[in-house]
Structures are given as structure tokens and as C-alpha cells.
Amino acid sequence: MIGGLFIYNHKGEVLISRVYRDDIGKGPFPNCFHKVGSTESYRMRNAVDAFRVNVIHARQQVRSPVTNIARTSFFHVKRSNIWLAAVTKQNVNAAMVFEFLYKMCDVMTAYFGKISEENIKNNFVLIYELLDEILDFGYPQNSETGALKTFITQTGIKSQSKEEQSQITSQVTGQIGWRREGIKYRRNELFLDVLESVNLLMSPQGQVLSAHVSGRVVMKSYLSGMPECKFGMNDKIVIDKQGKGGATEEQSIAIDDCTFHQCVRLSKFDAERSISFIPPDGECELMRYRTTKDIILPFRVIPLVREVGRTKLEVKVVIKSNFKPSLLAQKIEVRIPTPLNTSGVQVICMKGKAKYKASENAIVWKIKRMAGMKESQISAEIELLPTNDKKKWARPPISMNFEVPFAPSGLKVRYLKVFEPKLNYSDHDVIKWVRYIGRSGIYETRC
Amino acid sequence: MEWANQLCENRQFGSKMTDSKYFTTTKKGEIFELKAELNSDKKEKKKEAVKKVIASMTVGKDVSALFPDVVNCMQTDNLELKKLVYLYLMNYAKSQPDMAIMAVNTFVKDCEDANPLIRALAVRTMGCIRVDKITEYLCEPLRKCLKDEDPYVRKTAAVCVAKLHDINAQLVEDQGFLDTLKDLISDSNPMVVANAVAALSEIAESHPNSNLLDLNPQSINKLLTALNECTEWGQIFILDCLANYTPRDDRESQSICERVTPRLSHANSAVVLSAVKVLMKFMEMLPKDLDYYSTLLKKLAPPLVTLLSAEPELQYVALRNINLIVQKRPEILKHEMKVFFVKYNDPIYVKLEKLDIMIRLASQANIAQVLAELKEYATEVDVDFVRKAVRAIGRCAIKVEQSAERCVSTLLDLIQTKVNYVVQEAIVVIKDIFRKYPNKYESVIATLCENLDSLDEPEARAAMIWIVGEYAERIDNADELLESFLEGFHDESTQVQLQLLTAIVKLFLKKPTETQELVQQVLSLATQDSDNPDLRDRGYIYWRLLSTDPVAAKEVVLAEKPLISEETDLIEPTLLEELICHIGTLASVYHKPPSAFVEGSRGVMHKRLPARTGSGESTESPDVGTAAGGSAPEAAPSIIPSQGDLLGDLLNLDMAPPTTSGPPPPTTGMQMGGMDLLGGGLDSLMGDESEPPHVPPRTDTPRSPSPQPPSPVYTHTDYTYTDYSHTDSPPDHSPTEHSPPAELGGDIGGSPAMGAGFGAAPAVMPASLNAPVGGGLGDLFDLGGVGMPMGAYIPPKIVWLPAMKAKGLEISGTFARRAGVIQMELILTNKAMSVMTDFAIQFNRNSFGLAPAGPLQVLTPLGPNQTIEVSLPLSTVGPVMKMDPLNNLQVAVKNNIDVFYFSCQYPISMLFVEDGKMERQVFLATWKDIPNDNESQFQIKDCHLNSDAASSKLQGSNIFTIAKRTVEGQDMLYMSIKLSNGIWVLAELRVQAGNPNYTISLKCRAPEVSQCVFQCYEAVLKN
């Protein structure tokens, strides 16, 4: 299991170091000529330094998120300029270690916001406390923020009543570790966001090389008690099962795969394909899914790149919006890469604003709003400095960003029913909101 | 929720904003100040001081001197302060064991506290203080906590048992904690169960033989129930534990699978991967014909694809695992090629892994798409990635035959970019393509040779040298090329040296006259001036072969090479099997067994997939291979599975001429050992490449002439991991270091006296050349000698166009086939008084579509009485018209004076192509298939060659002997010829010892060619 967890700043200085197992201190690590202290803590420093020297300060780009130095394995993730590293000497479950590191980031964000050097230094006592709680001997323990916040607080624990204490422990260890009892709201309300990111890789000729939608259903619930919820969508398998008798005109979609928040009863989904759960209070990501069939591609990019001699490039890009004319896409941004030896760029666009950004080696074309079934065009002349570089310019793909008010996968929420048998509010009393947002993931067209 | 966060943050701003200041105090006398503060009466001040201490500890300052003062702060009802002190204790207790005892009383007291959180905190911290003296005091509180009424305390105590076991295993056993822990598996609280399982699994790992976990259907059932209820982490512990269980039969296996499958929809990737592990393992036991089996296969693909939308680090872990799964069960993801296409913004580690999987999934169905992608990648920025993409193109060519041509042309395009590392990489893979499809793409050799100077990496140099050696007979200046490498012989890497040695020996065997000096030079460089045992041994072997039996030498060195396997760098099956049992873990990320990177007793136990039970065994289909059984190797006929059979032949070599029998089966362990030793040595001695043993060796070894499929002596399972720990280093092409013991060289060379003999050999050699040693080196250098390869038969030049008929231009010439290219060799003589210019040539339509492949290269004007020799390469793609005689060619030559016509006859032998060797089975079938009417018989008179000499002579003209049979003193040679237009001619040549008259029977679907072919036989054999 995890032998230790370190947090570094971008310079490689240690901000947090928590050692769970002694074995990780045993080097000998190359390139670490730390004065060999007799004390245990000095030995630990070796592992800490080994990571700094071999990964953070490494000359080359990081080639793997898992590094093995002197039979010690280092897992790392980076958040802005903070490095989180987990260290082990054993054959641990690697997927679990990374999941844990992400979870650790989530927990820290939930407690003190952005993960930055300043925030970490400001909250180092809290972080140690969290690390003590969510990792025991390197084994991850309950790490749901909802539960943690009941007993790891910033104010110090006041003397709790015995009942309160046992309520905490039963929640932390219990079956429904993500929700505490006795939550009360005057107004029972829930918000569902269907957030999709549509990914596309298109050939210059307009052939779809790969396209998929990865979507998330995020639920914000402000419900009293322990509500039992049931969620339904236009899943093809479910619709086909029911649709035999009734004449459901609804379009159904084929979901390739989906994963659920741990509150969802997976065995019930496996057996009946029904999604039932008791939600955590507040926000949670109920479900993630992926579809590849019948995707609505909101935009089509048609590139035309022509090399005029050795010192000039002509680029013309047309974008076409492909959805109902009544809907509006927002935050549209087209990024047209330019060669490294670009000396000057002239851009003409019909709509929006376009600018050549030398530091990013790209022409960035921004359009605030665009209705469906419209098209717009940009043309640019790129002047190049003559080079003797033999290698041809690699022509990175043209990428796009946008936001549309529908789900490109075609997913529709059919219902979300709430039952709370103990309290006297019914499904009809709950105010429900649904919103669909489709964003671009990696939306690229080769040119 | 949002506002709650806000609230929380706001509250922090009041009190916590200043925590970072603790990191900045670096004043002198700091310790002293802290000491004073720690002993302060004010609670707040105390807490501040402890925080400062922890901050100093974090940044690496030694604050152990404050130990007693900090411990004094321990007795407090402030939980936050208590936790801070505990943190300090965990860090420094080991360096101050005596002082640590001071804390014991507080711990014991805390373990009795009314607050379950404090009880748990105490027992958790106590386990982390790794001091022997303290462990004794830990036992009683721990025992109580294991039976605590509060689940939070129990789950903490469960982990504490594992901690204590790590410090003092004996104590844990003596105190009976293991039994208590086992009882916790039946606890009512799922989290307690999960932690107990985790602790027991860890303890069990260091006691491989104990039956600690004692998994049985009842306990499995309990685990599966807890699986539905515990946290995501708990689910991982339980699934990882389940993976160690071996179900009794397929029915139990299926029911566990059914209960595990829902986990594939979990949001946590680690839960998904652990579930995949359980399913992959238990699937082994399910009968293949079961409906559930195929349902399960279908269910596995979507979650694996979903893992690719996780964060990049997890994607990497997932991809490494998918790489294993694809090798084990290719059917799962065979339709999912597109998801592995590389995205521009993927981190490099993700890109490289995706590329690997793309090649594994490449098939005829998707090859076009894959190639288009790979071509795209070859223009990217990252050098490693580009290299791998180039290499991948080559691997596609080898894997999917239909794509080979496109791959080669793509590679040639890439070579034209002249980007150094691209060129080198392309040359390395083209070598492999040559190995896979001999005599097919040699036309590219010229392009490769152009880039000779830019090669600076050993691997590329070695590959190029191999190509030059292999095709020496078709590269006019092969000797010069190789000689140029020889100059810096000692500066080359071993790989290049070995290759150079082999290539020059090959060249020598092909062109003995011109390269005698070169071969002596390289042999002496390798044997005398080198300290490398591999090189020396290989040098001695060649030397001895050349000097004792040149025919054997030829058979060994120039033998037909075994085909290379389609799948390169597959993980060796037993290792793969073990890694499948470790899905999700580090082992699966490194592709190494845990024993390769874990110290101590942990992970030494090798995990195995369960054997299939019941009816499944007999119905096992071949596509899954035999990895399940882990025994017999996959003996696909075209692949050399191990060195075993090569070895047999080589051993035979030393004792007797190669026999047709299979390799001698090893009878005793002793013999096995001996052979193994030799095997390793020979691999590198004879090998063209040094490469990891799990790739079928590409060695210049003779193939046993016996028709039965190779029966390997060794199976894959004979390899042990320790031998091949390097299999995990970048898989293909990495040089292996076989270091046979130093004596081996002596052993192979024979007795020490022999060795000495070699030492003196260079001086002796010229003398021995003249000595008429039967079958010795003397014969080798004798051009007319027996068993030497001849170039293709070239008829002498004759006058085609006399000067009289052509206003003073005389043309004589002949035809030749060199390096696979047909050439018309012309001598133009100007016997007129004026200068001749503007030469051009054209052919009339002819039987085999011969046409000039380029213009006639007469660049300078031809003055009076001047002669010029021109060679004109010919192609066989011109217009076809049947001529009489068949080999008649009508030529028109033009110059500034006039156009002249003449006709000539070419020997049909120059149309015999290099890949005219038919497979034995095909030959038999074809022979039977061609009607007897098409057979024609001829007599060749007055020929004094024996059958072997005849055969090798004919081979020089691409007439290949496929088999030889001796019936009553008469040698029957069976031969095949392939014409450039694809016509096959089969021949049976009967040679009677002592009778100078041969009988030849020719069979061909186009019997018209027989007459011409017979003429060739006569011409070749008599010249």
C-alpha cells in the first residue's frame, strides 16, 4: 500500500510530507547525497529528495506518471504548479493510488478552494489531519467530503454529545457514508445538469475519424431526510423494453457505457437497468456516460491550407453550425495553428474577432454567439521566414471550442422521482430543474 | 453546498490565514524559543508552538530535541492539538525510543476514552509508532478495540493489526490477533469487513503458505455481500482479495462473475480494473461454449474504453493493462481500434501506449485507417513518438501481408525526408520486412545505400550491414561498403561488430574471389584483437566452418532463414498469465512480475490463472492459445518457437554432417543443462541480431531439412523469469547481453590445442590454401570448385550488329541478371570516321515483355575507333507478343546517323526470379497437378559435375533445388524455377554417378518454354 505522501511546490520544496511506512526510506537513491543522518527522519528525506531530483528537476519532459527509482515507485499528479506524489515499495493497486490522489485533490479543494502553494501552507495542519483520516497505514479510508466535514473541522471539535459522536462514526463507516441523517430544507429542490463534451477528430476531407460524447449528469439536491431517488433517461435498452406496448415517440439513444457515483445501486442497475440511489446532500456527479452513435456534431470545420512558395501560406477556414436555427451557440473559438517561423499574419473574418497570437503559434478566432444552420469564414495570409530546417511543419490540427444549449448525444432526462417515506413531502412537492449544456471536448479537424 | 463551502472558507479566513508564517521562521535560537512556548501556560500559545514544530519538521529541520516538551502537550482535551502531537510522535519516536515510552500512558488512557473518535485515534497512532517497547503496551488496548462496540474503532483496529504485524509478526500470532481479524470478516459493518480483508491480505502475502485468508464459498459469499455496501476503496480491497480465490468449478466461477459484473459501472477506475481482473481470471474456468462466456466478453469492452476518458495518469495505467488484456484475449477489443487513435494533446506516455495497442489490434480489416494514422504521427514533434510510429509502420507490414507494399512505400517516403532519426528507424524496420518477405522489395536497397553515411546509431548500422550482407550478390560494391565499415571496427558497438562479421562471411561465400582478403581481415579482427567473448566465439565458429567444410559453412551461413513471427514483442505466455492476475497493480504497469521490483518476501509468490474445468478443456479453441494451460508452446508452423530445434542441428554439425532427423531429444537433466548453456551462447554466436529471447530468434541457422514441423526441445515455460528480467526493458530490438562463460569459446573451438591453432591461423592460412585438403579451404577459393555459388550464367558477348550493316556502328553484347535486375550489356564501337552521338534504343514487342527500364546511357559522343561499354537495365513490363523462337528480341538502335535494326536471342535464365523456390508441399501438389502431356524430357550430354555441384551451380541462375532423393545410386534432384511473368517450371534432374549424361524432365503449364529452359540448363551446366 501507499508508503508515503508528499506535496511539493514547483521548485521541489516539500510542503507536506506524511510517511505511513518505514520501508520507503531505504534507498540507496542515486543522485541523492543527503547527509546520512542517523535519525529515521533523515532517511525519509532520501525518498523525498529522490523524487525531487529525478522527476521535478529532471531535464527531460516527464515520460511516465509512475517512476521507479531504486526499487521505490513514485506516483505523481500535478495540479497547477503543485506536485502530489505517493510513494511505495510494494506492488500496490496503481489505479487505486491515482484515484486516491485525485480524491485527495477533490477533498482539499472542497475544504480550502484552489490547490496552490499559499493555500497548502495556510492549511497544512488541516491537510495533515485529513491525511491521517483518509489514509491509514496507506489504505484509503472514507474520503467523502460530506462525511469528513462532520468531524474534521477548522474550529476544533467541541465536546460533542455521545449521540452526536456515534452518529458521526456510523456515518463514516456506514452503508450510506455520503449522507448524514436529519437534513432539513424548507424548500425541497433539485437541479440536474446534463453536461456533455463532444469529441471529434476529422480528416481534412471531412471524414469523421473518431467521434464520441462523454457526458456527466451532475445533480445538486437540497432535499430533506433520506430521499430515495429514481432517475430515468431515454436509454435505448430501457425504452425498447417498455416501448413494445406503448407508442413512445421519444428518440432513444444507445449508451456505450456508463459509470455511477457510489450512491447508485449497481446491482440493481445491472439487473433492471434502473438507476436508484440516495443522493449525497449538495452537489454530486451522479453518472458518467459515453456514446459514439448518432452524435449531433454541432460544428463542421472546413480547412483549406495552401503553401504559396516557401515563404507564404494561405489559410481559409469555414465553420458551419449544424443545429436548430432557434438555438444559439456561445463562446466559439477556433484555433488555427501557424508554423514556428511565422513572421506576419493578415486575417480577414466575416464575423467575430480574430487575432494572431505569436506566443501560442496560432490564429485565434472568437465568435460570441452563432445561431444554428449558419456559416462563417475566415481567411488568413501567413508570411514565413525562410528557414533551412529540413523538417516539414507538422501541421497540428485546427481545434475548436464552443458551448451549445443541447446534448449532442441526444440524451434526455425522462424523470427523476423522489420518495421520502418518513417525511411528509411527495414527489410533486419537489422543485426540479433540468439543464443541458454541450461543450467541445477535443474537437479537431486535421488540415 | 457552494455556500457551505464559502462559509467554511470565510471562517478560515478569520483564524487560519496565517498558517503559512510557520514556514518562514528561520531565526537563530529558534529551538530555544519554541521550547519556551511549548511550556507556556496558555493553550493557544502551546498550539501555535506545536504548529511551528510540525512546519519545521515538514521542511526537513531536525526538531527532535523538543521531544519531551512536545510530548508534554499530549494530555489535552483539544483534539486538534492532540493530533498534532501525535503527528510529531510518529515522526520522532523511533529516534528517541526511551522518551517515546513517556507517551504510552496517555495512549492507553485515550484508548478508553468515551469518544470513539479519540479511541480510534489513539489506537491508530500507537500502531504507527514503530518502537518495540511500545508494541508490548499496544496489545491490550488493541484487543479491546478489535471488539469495540463502535464500527469506526473496529475498522481502525483492523488495520492496526497489520501495522503491528509489520513490526513484530510473532507477537501478532502469539496474541491471537489473526483469529480476531478473521472473525471481523463476518462483521456487520461493511467497512470493518473491507479493512479486515485488506489487513489479512497483506499479512497473508508475507506468509505465502499459511491459509490465513481461508477463502471458501461461505466467506466468499460474505465478501460479495459486503462488496455492495462498502466504500469505493473497500470494494477495491475486496475485489483484489477475491482475485486470489480459485473457485471449485465453473458454476461457482460463473456465479461470482455475475455478482462482480455490476462493479464495471463504478465511477472509480480502480474498482473497474479490479473487477476486470477478477473476471479475466475466473473466465478461464468457464466453458467456451457457454452463452454466459460470450456475454461476459461483450460486457468487458465498454468499461475498458471508458477508462480512456479518465485523467491522463489513469489512462496510462488503463492502457498498460489493456495492452495485457489485448494479448490475452484479443477478441475483446478487436472492434475498438478508433478509441486508441492518438490525440494531439495526449501526454507523451499516453501516446506511446496507444500506439502499442494500435499495432496489436491492427488487422486486415482496419489496416488502411491505421496506416493513415501512423503516417500522420510520423510527422509529429516528439522524437520517441516519431520513432515508434515509424517502427509501427514496419510492424504493420509484417503483421498484415496485404499492407506490406503500402508500408514499404510509406517508409521510402519517410526516408526521403532525410530526418536522421526517421531514416535510421526506417532502415531498422525495412530489414525486418526483408526478413519476412524475402526477395520482394529489394528494389529499395539502392535508396537505403544512399543514406549509408547518415547512420550513426548502432542498431541502424547493424541493420544496414545485415542488408548488405544478405543481398551481397545484388549489390555491386558490397565489398567496398562493408570494407568502409571495417575501418573503424573496434569503435563499433558489439551489435555492429557481430553483424559485420556475419555479413562479410556471407559476402565471402557469395563472391569468394574478390573478398578473400576482407574475410581474413575481419576474422582476425574478431578473434585476435577483440576482448568480446561473443565476437571471438562467433569468429572462431566461422573460421572453423570455413576451414573444415565450406559446403557446410554455406549451408549454415546462407541457409534459408526461419520466418520471423508476425507478432513481435509479445509478452512471454507464463509472464502474461501472471500479469493478468495482477491487473490494476504496479506489476501490470511495469509489465514485470512483482518479484522484479518488490523486496523481501512480499510478492514472491507467483500467481497463476486457474485451469479450465470440465468440458471446457477439450473444446479449447486455438485462438486463445495455450496460455491457460501454461504448458505446450504455440507451435505455429511458420514461427520458430525457441532455439531448441536450431540447437539440435548445430550440435549435429559438430559431430556429423547434418542429418535429416529431428533434434535429439534431451534425455537427462545434465544434457539439458549443457544444451541450454550452448543455446544461450549459440543464440548470440549465430544470431543476426541480439535480441530478447521471447522474440523468435532471427538467426542464420540451418533449417532442418526434414519435412516434419519443427519439434522444439524447449517450451516457453522453460524460461524462468530471472533469466529474462530484461524482457521488460523496451521490448524489441534491445540488445541482449548473453555472456557465455569464458571457457565456452574454448569449448566450441574444440580442444585447447585447436584454439592455439586458430591463434596462429592467419599466418598459416595462405599455406593451407594450396594444400589439397579434401573439402577444405582450398576448394573454397577455387572458383571452379565444388559447392561454390556461381553468379547467374552469363553467355559470352557476341556481335549482334556488324559494322558493315550499320554505317560503321558495331554492337556486340549479352544479357545478364545482376542483383535481381536484368541487364543488357552492350559494347558499342565506332568504326566509322565521324563522331556518333544521340544514341537511343527501343525494343519490339516480345514474348516476355522486355523493355528498357531507362534510356541508353551514352553521354559522351563516341569518337572514331572508340569503344564504349554500356549496360542497360531492362524491365519486364513492356508489351507482350509471342515470338518465334520464344527468346527472340528485335532491337532498334538510333544515333545521329540513322536507325538500325537487329535481332538477338537472350538466355531465358535471366528471367528466372530470385524467389523461385517453391515450398516442398506446393511442389509435390503442382507436379501432380500439371498434366503429363506437358512433360518434356531432354538429355544433357557430357556433363561431369556431381549432383551437389550441379545443384549449387544451377542455384546461381535461380534454379532452386527443393529436394534430393537417391534411388539406387541415381540422384534425383527436384527443382523449381519461376519466370518473371509468374510461370513456374518444375524440373526433375537425374544424375547417375559415373554417367556423364543427365536426364532432365520439365513440367510446366506453358510447355512452350521447356525448350528454352532446357537450353539454359545445358548452358549453365556446361559453362
Closest CA to A120 of A2, A6, A3: A6
A124–B22 C-beta distance less than 8 A: yes
Average pLDDT of the segment spanning B49-72: 83
Q: Which 8-state DSSP code applies to residue B797?
A: P
Per the model's pLDDT, the better-predicted residue between A369 and A40 turns out to be A369
* A251 vs B: CB within 8 A: no
Question: How many contacts (CB atoms, under 8 Å) link A and B?
Answer: 328
pLDDT at residue B612, rounded to an integer: 64
Please write the tens of the pLDDT for every residue from B742-793. 333 333 333 333 333 333 333 333 333 333 433 334 334 443 333 444 566 7
Alpha carbon of B628: minimum distance to chain A alpha carbons (Å) = 24
Query: Percent of chain A scored above 90 by pLDDT?
Result: 49
Alpha carbon of B834: minimum distance to chain A alpha carbons (Å) = 48
Beta-bridge partner residues of B935: B1003
Using CA atoms, how far apart are residues B961 and B982, in angstroms rounded to an integer?
18
Burial of A159 (0-12, 13-18, 19+ CB in 10 A): exposed
Q: List all residues 6 or more positions away from A68 whose beta carbon is below 8 Å from its beta carbon.
A: A74, B590, B597
Using CA atoms, how far apart are residues B245 and B223, in angstroms rounded to an integer?
12
Closest CB from A96, A220, A392 relative to B236: A96
Residue with C-alpha cell 569468394?
A: B512
DSSP string over A119-182: HHHHTHHHHHHHHHHHEETTEE----HHHHHHHS-SS------HHHHHHHHHHHHSTTTT--S-
Helices H, strands E: what count in chain B? 41, 13
Q: Is the pLDDT of residue A42 over 80?
A: no
CA contacts within 13 A on the Cβ side of B679: 21
Q: Is the pLDDT of residue B18 over 90?
A: no
For residues B955 and B989, the answer to whether their CB atoms sit within 8 Å is no
Determine which helix (DSSP H) or strand (DSSP E) holds A401, and give its type and residue range: strand A398-404
pLDDT at residue A391, rounded to an integer: 60
pLDDT at residue B660, rounded to an integer: 37
Angle at B261 between CA B257 and CA B265, to 5 degrees: 165
For residues B887 and B954, the answer to whether their CB atoms sit within 8 Å is no
Q: Is the pLDDT of residue B491 over 50?
A: yes
* A25 vs B: CB within 8 A: no
For the entire predicted model, the pTM comes to 0.67
Residues, chain B: 1023
User: Which amino acid does the sequence have at B278?
Assistant: V
* A369 vs B: CB within 8 A: no
Closest CA to B559 of B372, B767, B698, B389: B698
* A37 vs B: CB within 8 A: yes
Q: Is the pLDDT of residue B475 over 90?
A: no
Among left, alpha and beta (phi > 0; psi -120 to 50; other), residue B122 is alpha
User: Which amino acid does the sequence have at A300?
Assistant: R
For residues A250 and A239, the answer to whether their CB atoms sit within 8 Å is yes
For residues B484 and B495, the answer to whether their CB atoms sit within 8 Å is no
* A343 vs B: CB within 8 A: no
Q: Is the pLDDT of residue B715 over 60?
A: no
User: Which amino acid does the sequence have at B641?
Assistant: P
Average pLDDT of the segment spanning A224-242: 87
Q: Around Cβ B10, how many Cβ atoms within 10 Å? A: 9
Residues, chain A: 447
* A161 vs B: CB within 8 A: no
Cell of B852: 528498357
Average pLDDT of the segment spanning B98-107: 81
* A220 vs B: CB within 8 A: yes
* A122 vs B: CB within 8 A: yes
Average pLDDT of the segment spanning B123-144: 86
- Ranked by mean pLDDT, the top range of B593-597, B695-699, B744-748 is B593-597
B45: phi then psi, degrees, rounded to nearest 5: -65, -40
Determine which helix (DSSP H) or strand (DSSP E) holds B999, and give its type and residue range: strand B998-1004
B349–A65 C-beta distance less than 8 A: yes
Alpha carbon of A325: minimum distance to chain B alpha carbons (Å) = 31
For residues A260 and A269, the answer to whether their CB atoms sit within 8 Å is yes
Per the model's pLDDT, the better-predicted residue between A391 and B637 turns out to be A391
Query: Percent of chain B scored above 70 by pLDDT?
Result: 78
Q: What is the CA radius of gyration of chain B?
A: 39
pLDDT at residue B162, rounded to an integer: 92
* A358 vs B: CB within 8 A: no
* A121 vs B: CB within 8 A: yes
Instruction: Tell me what the pLDDT averaged over chain B comes to.
Output: 76
pLDDT at residue B236, rounded to an integer: 95
Average pLDDT of the segment spanning A361-369: 93
What is the dihedral sign for C-alpha B845, B849, B850, B851? positive
Q: Around Cβ B531, how many Cβ atoms within 10 Å? A: 7
State the angle between helix axes of B420-436 and B404-416 in degrees (0 to 180), rounded to the nearest 10: 160
State the angle between helix axes of B348-361 and B367-377 in degrees (0 to 180), rounded to the nearest 10: 150
B166–A170 C-beta distance less than 8 A: no
Rounded to whole angstroms, what are the CA distances from B539 to A201, A357, B515? 55, 62, 16
Q: Which residue of A has its CA nearest to B369?
A: A209
List all residues of chain A from 391 to 410 with a beta carbon under 8 Å from chain B. 391-392, 394-397, 399
Rounded to whole angstroms, what are the CA distances from A32 to A18, A47, A69, B260, B986? 20, 9, 11, 45, 72
Please write the tens of the pLDDT for every residue from A94-121. 999 999 999 999 999 999 999 999 999 8
Burial A301-320 (b: 16+ CB within 10 A, else e): bbbebeeeeeeebebebebb
Q: Which residue of A has its CA nearest to B195?
A: A139
Using CA atoms, how far apart are residues A402 and A329, in angstroms rounded to an integer?
7
Per the model's pLDDT, the better-predicted residue between B674 and A77 turns out to be A77
B191–A95 C-beta distance less than 8 A: no
Per the model's pLDDT, the better-predicted residue between B874 and A297 turns out to be A297
Q: Which residues of A are known binding-site members?
A: 353, 355, 357, 366, 368
Q: Which residue of B has its CA nearest to A109?
A: B5
* A236 vs B: CB within 8 A: no
pLDDT at residue A192, rounded to an integer: 94
Residue with C-alpha cell 524475402?
A: B438
Q: What is the CA radius of gyration of chain A?
A: 27
Distance of CA B608 to the CA centre of its chain: 24
Task: Order the strands of the A228-233 sheet from edge to edge.
Answer: A275-277, A228-233, A413-419
Alpha carbon of B284: minimum distance to chain A alpha carbons (Å) = 22
- Best interface-test mutation with A: which of B152, B238, B590 has the largest number of A CBs within 10 A? B152
Closest CB from A89, A162, A175 relative to B598: A89
Q: Around Cβ B556, how many Cβ atoms within 10 Å? A: 22
B84–A118 C-beta distance less than 8 A: no
